[in-house]
Amino acid sequence: MEQSLVLQTLNGLKQRLSGESTLITQDTNGHVNECRFSFNSGVDDKEIEEFEQYTKWKLPDDLLAFLRLHNGGRFFEDEYGTFVHLLKLSEMMQYHTDYMPDHYYTIAIYMGCLLIVDSDAVRRGDKYYLYWFEAGEFYKLNDRFDILFNRWIVAQGEPYWTWSLFKFE
């Protein structure tokens, strides 16, 4: 049986981590950092069912694969306090705000920006259901969680989807 991309990504990442759960990374500005990683314990199907019933949000299968292994975590935490915060189920509810449509929910935070799932798109079976919220604007990402998570790890925690916005001259 073939492993999911989420599991392959997590396994690859964990193989590269030191005994202290750190990894040497280089960011887009050339800075080298020793980043820490922490993983929460996973959730069971009962917790997932209760969450979906209470919130009326549909969780995509690839995100569920991650949550069953790790109910959130902190990735690429550097000495300056910058990190990718993948939210626990309970935190997803806390980060839903009035300016979001009811069917949007936050699954990750990075430097004040939010990674959001469109629950209606998941329910319809749309291939891409993620949004990035930054500076008061929602940006549709042509990604799903497993691909974004894999690329985010490969990009060493940098928001790779913004790279086309910046040009070096």
CATH code where residue 129 lies: 3.40.1580.10
Indicate the pLDDT class of residue 167, thresholds 50, 70 and 90: low
Residue 94 sits in which domain range? 5-155
134 in a structural domain: yes
Share of the chain above pLDDT 70, in %: 95
Does any domain span residue 161?
no
What are all long-range contacts of 78-83, with beta carbons under 8 Å and residues at least 24 apart? 78/25, 78/33, 78/34, 78/35, 78/36, 79/33, 79/34, 82/111, 83/35, 83/36, 83/110, 83/157
What is the chain's mean pLDDT, rounded? Answer: 92
pTM: 0.91
Q: How many domains does the chain have?
A: 1
78 domain-assigned: yes
